[in-house]
């Protein structure tokens, strides 16, 4: 024999446990039954899993607890315990189904007209419970008590045991020699009838293993049925006219307790492999963990047996008989006797193979559940499950189906899928259109989408999103068109221009100013202040004299205006004008003039603008410069598309607007390895 595991704690409940406890968070939920058959009441007890101390107790008047089921609310990630009860007094009692959190608070409760509800079972976020003796109720375990309920009438007399469920098929144990199957989606029904004694009830929860369903009769026979058709594959009499325990299946072996001990059979043929004899009955389902099978016996012992041959590895003696199976919790192995004694043993260490197998099984069940949620259109719930499985791309697609674009964008950001993130942010902004939200909140969503597109250099998409933000804020969008005339260096000409408002609000106090030293004017700005309403335009002119010649001499205009709230805004526009040379006159080529004017700039702190320009040209590309301009609140359309010229214009703009420090800070943040 091997050494018995260490005892972590013990406790003695005031009343014996009636059914197997469940783990809810850091607590165990025990359902007790009265010590006296005449007592019509029962209690639900919350026990701290760490030390075994009673944390709380809930009393049920004129009702007995018939079943417990652990569940985790998906939306809140909150563990709960689902409790089913049956009336113990036809006049004063009531059966119901309740959900408790680990502190003993009732999360929700539900009941119909029935006086009794059997042990519940959860399948794919649905709670199945037998109501009365001939109704299957399907209840949502999610939410706060607003339960959506479906009812299926059954042509049989059901037992108080929980159904077994796989996919859409529920297998109902009966208080007759029958096992009943029903398809929950089509209502198709079929059943297995055990020949022989009418008292041979198949009233225990059947066990599914691959394509076989195992169930036991009260008269001592184990049946193996085809899970699709309920056709009998084999049967084996274990104990003549005596009840059996609920079977447990592990691979090719099926374990079942009887009045005389534990019998292990080949799951495919039903032939016995080995037996473990006992002097008293084994009425609780065996627990199989790795290479060990744990057996509770009414001879007061818990046995740990070698799964392959039945040799006793160790045994634990309790004060009273044990008719509940041992319970594996995250921290210990629990043994509970008929007198209410609870012993917590050190949790068995599973083999690496068993851990991998258990983990893979859980993973597979969750994936199957998530896929079925997708098929039912429960996309948000499926996405949460995919996230818990680490399937981020699949979760993003599920959130996409649910229209949860903000969550889609968050996932794509985690995966560095910037293009998909930008598209999702734009779809999120679109989804806010019909919601009752503050317009600024909607505008901010469009700003985020615009920035995401700007980071990718997607100019058209960025402008589209900026336009939507302006729509919500009722801001103007100004554009300037000029009429190009024949220009000659050092000669005065009239520059005609039109300011158009393609936006959604008025542009007030609009003034156009010439800010480029390559041109001089009799007046550096337009002489009037005007208001340009949406879909309107204003025509004006400036007298200018070019100081440089070339096919495309840059000329910068500054447009100043106030929006509807009175905030002053500025826009810069750059135009490239053909300027003819003057015979006999001295003029400076365009490129030399730009370099000459740039060299005369004075940067704060004695910075070297030539070195700054050289580094920016070397370490930034055009798209990154567009993002820089976006951060500075400037439209990149106002700058030359050629990299070297654009850098020079950005530095010149920063000097004129006292934002050189912001420009350098951006460069330092994006290229910290470069000395700026």
Query: How high does pLDDT run on average in the chain?
Result: 88
pLDDT in tens, 512-561: 888 877 888 766 566 567 899 999 999 888 888 898 888 878 888 888 99
Nearest to 396 by CA among 375, 414, 378: 414
The token duo for 340 is: 């209410």
Measured distance CA(165)–CA(524) in Å, rounded: 83
Asked whether the beta carbons of 624 and 647 are under 8 A apart, the reply is no
The token duo for 631 is: 């951060």
Q: Would the pLDDT of 262 be above 90? A: yes
Q: Would the pLDDT of 351 be above 90? A: no
Alpha-carbon distances of 224 from 144, 160, 246, rounded to whole Å: 40, 22, 13
pLDDT band at residue 596, thresholds of 50, 70 and 90?
very low
pLDDT band at residue 147, thresholds of 50, 70 and 90?
low
Q: What's residue 334's pLDDT?
A: 95
Q: What's residue 532's pLDDT?
A: 93
Q: What's residue 72's pLDDT?
A: 84
Rounded-to-5 percentages of helix, strand, coil across the chain:
25, 35, 40
Rg (CA), the chain: 40
pLDDT band at residue 591, thresholds of 50, 70 and 90?
very low
> Exposed (0-12), middle (13-18) or buried (19+): which is 289, by Cβ within 10 Å?
buried
Q: Would the pLDDT of 569 be above 60? A: yes
Measured distance CA(194)–CA(197) in Å, rounded: 8
pTM listed for this prediction: 0.62
Nearest to 205 by CA among 20, 335, 25, 369: 20
CA atoms within 13 A on the CB side of 664: 15
Backbone angles phi, psi at 140, to 5 degrees: -80, 125
Task: Report how far Cα 161 is from the mean position of its chain's Cα atoms.
Answer: 34
pLDDT band at residue 75, thresholds of 50, 70 and 90?
low
If you average pLDDT over residues 292-303, what whole number do you get? 96
Asked whether the beta carbons of 404 and 380 are under 8 A apart, the reply is yes
Q: What's residue 589's pLDDT?
A: 39
Q: What's residue 159's pLDDT?
A: 92
- Residue of 610 and 255 predicted with greater confidence: 255
Q: Would the pLDDT of 639 be above 70? A: yes
Alpha-carbon distances of 526 from 468, 489, 515, 518, 561, rounded to whole Å: 30, 22, 12, 18, 12
Q: What's residue 137's pLDDT?
A: 92
The token duo for 225 is: 């049925």
Nearest-10 Cα torsion for 464, 470, 476, 479:
-20
pLDDT band at residue 472, thresholds of 50, 70 and 90?
very high
Q: Which of 42-51, 392-401, 572-581 has the lowest average pLDDT?
A: 572-581
Q: What's residue 78's pLDDT?
A: 86
Nearest to 672 by CA among 631, 615, 633, 628: 615
Q: What's residue 637's pLDDT?
A: 76
Q: Would the pLDDT of 104 be above 90? A: yes
| Total Cβ atoms within 10 A of residue 621 | 10
- The length of the chain is 676
Going by their DSSP bridges, the two strands 530-532 and 27-32 should be labelled as: unpaired
If you average pLDDT over residues 277-285, what whole number do you get? 96
The token duo for 326 is: 């041992």
Q: Would the pLDDT of 257 be above 60? A: yes
Q: Which ranges in 376-435 belong to alpha helices (H)?
A: 379-388, 392-402, 405-414, 418-431
Look at phi and psi of residue 118 and say left if phi exceeds 0, alpha if psi is from -120 to 50, else beta: beta
Measured distance CA(311)–CA(300) in Å, rounded: 18
Q: What's residue 584's pLDDT?
A: 40
If you average pLDDT over residues 286-290, what whole number do you get? 93
Share of the chain above pLDDT 70, in %: 92
Measured distance CA(172)–CA(360) in Å, rounded: 28
Q: What's residue 593's pLDDT?
A: 39
The token duo for 200 is: 């041979």
pLDDT in tens, 10-33: 999 888 898 999 999 999 999 998
Nearest-10 Cα torsion for 235, 237, 242, 248:
-60
- Residue of 450 and 364 predicted with greater confidence: 450
The token duo for 55 is: 């944390």
Q: What's residue 175's pLDDT?
A: 94
**What angle do helix axes 609-619 and 660-670 make, rounded to 10 degrees?**
40
Nearest to 658 by CA among 616, 595, 603: 603
- Residue of 337 and 597 predicted with greater confidence: 337
């Amino acid at each position: 024999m091997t050494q018995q595991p260490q005892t972590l704690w013990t406790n003695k409940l005031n009343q014996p446990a009636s059914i197997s406890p469940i783990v809810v968070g850091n607590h165990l939920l025990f359902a007790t039954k009265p010590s006296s058959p005449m007592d019509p009441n029962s209690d639900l007890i919350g026990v701290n899993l760490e030390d075994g101390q009673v944390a709380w107790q809930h009393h049920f008047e004129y009702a007995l607890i018939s079943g417990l089921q652990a569940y985790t609310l998906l939306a809140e990630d909150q563990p709960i315990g689902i409790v089913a009860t049956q009336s113990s007094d036809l006049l004063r009692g009531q059966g119901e189904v309740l959900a408790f959190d680990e502190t003993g608070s009732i999360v929700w409760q539900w009941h119909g007209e029935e006086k009794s509800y059997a042990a519940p079972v959860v399948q794919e976020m649905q709670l199945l419970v037998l109501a009365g003796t001939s109704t299957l109720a399907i209840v949502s375990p999610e939410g706060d008590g607003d339960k959506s309920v479906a009812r299926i009438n059954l042509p049989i007399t059901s037992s108080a045991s929980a159904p077994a469920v796989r996919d859409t098929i529920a297998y109902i144990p009966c208080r007759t020699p029958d096992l009943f199957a029903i398809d929950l989606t089509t209502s198709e029904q079929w059943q297995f009838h055990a020949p022989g004694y009418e008292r041979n009830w198949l009233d225990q929860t059947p066990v599914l293993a691959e394509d076989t369903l195992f169930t036991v009769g009260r008269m001592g026979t184990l049946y193996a049925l085809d899970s699709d058709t309920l056709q009998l594959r084999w049967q084996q009499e274990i104990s003549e006219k005596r009840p059996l325990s609920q079977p447990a299946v592990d691979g090719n072996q099926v374990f079942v307790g009887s009045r005389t001990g534990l019998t292990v059979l080949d799951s495919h043929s039903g032939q016995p492999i080995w037996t473990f004899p006992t002097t008293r009955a084994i009425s609780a389902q065996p627990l199989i963990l790795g290479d060990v099978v744990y057996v509770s016996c009414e001879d007061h012992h818990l046995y740990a047996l070698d799964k392959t041959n039945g040799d006793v590895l160790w045994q634990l003696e309790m004060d009273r008989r044990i008719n509940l199976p041992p319970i594996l919790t995250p921290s210990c192995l629990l043994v509970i006797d008929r007198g209410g004694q609870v012993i917590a043993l050190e949790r068995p260490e599973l083999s690496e193979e068993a851990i991998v197998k258990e983990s893979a099984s859980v993973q597979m069940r969750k994936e199957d559940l998530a896929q079925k949620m997708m098929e039912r259109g429960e996309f948000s719930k499926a996405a949460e499950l995919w996230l818990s499985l680490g399937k981020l791309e699949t979760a993003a697609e599920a959130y996409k189906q649910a229209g949860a674009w903000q969550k889609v964008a968050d996932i794509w950001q985690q995966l560095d899928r910037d293009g998909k993130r930008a598209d999702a942010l734009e779809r999120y902004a679109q989804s806010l259109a019909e919601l009752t939200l503050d317009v600024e909140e909607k505008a901010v969503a469009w700003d985020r989408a615009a920035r995401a597109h700007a980071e990718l250099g997607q100019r058209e998409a960025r402008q589209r999103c900026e336009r939507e933000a302006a729509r919500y804020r009722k801001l103007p969008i100004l554009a300037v068109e000029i009429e190009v005339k024949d220009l000659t260096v050092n000669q005065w000409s009239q520059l005609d221009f039109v300011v158009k408002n393609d936006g959604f609000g008025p542009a007030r106090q609009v003034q156009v100013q010439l800010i480029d030293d390559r041109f001089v004017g009799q007046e550096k700005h337009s002489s009037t202040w005007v208001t340009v309403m949406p879909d309107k335009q204003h025509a004006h002119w400036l007298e200018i004299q070019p100081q440089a010649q070339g096919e495309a001499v840059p000329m910068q205009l500054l447009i100043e205006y106030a929006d509807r709230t009175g905030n002053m805004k500025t826009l810069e526009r750059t135009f490239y004008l053909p300027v003819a040379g003057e015979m006999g006159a001295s003029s400076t080529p365009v490129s030399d003039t730009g370099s000459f004017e740039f060299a005369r700039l004075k940067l704060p702190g004695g910075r070297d603008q030539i070195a700054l320009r050289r580094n920016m040209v070397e370490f930034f590309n055009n798209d990154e410069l567009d993002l820089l301009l976006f951060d500075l609140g400037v439209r990149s359309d106002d700058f030359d598309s050629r990299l070297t010229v654009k850098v020079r214009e950005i530095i010149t703009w920063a000097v004129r607007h006292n934002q050189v420090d912001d420009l350098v800070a951006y460069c330092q943040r994006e290229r910290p390895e470069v000395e700026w």
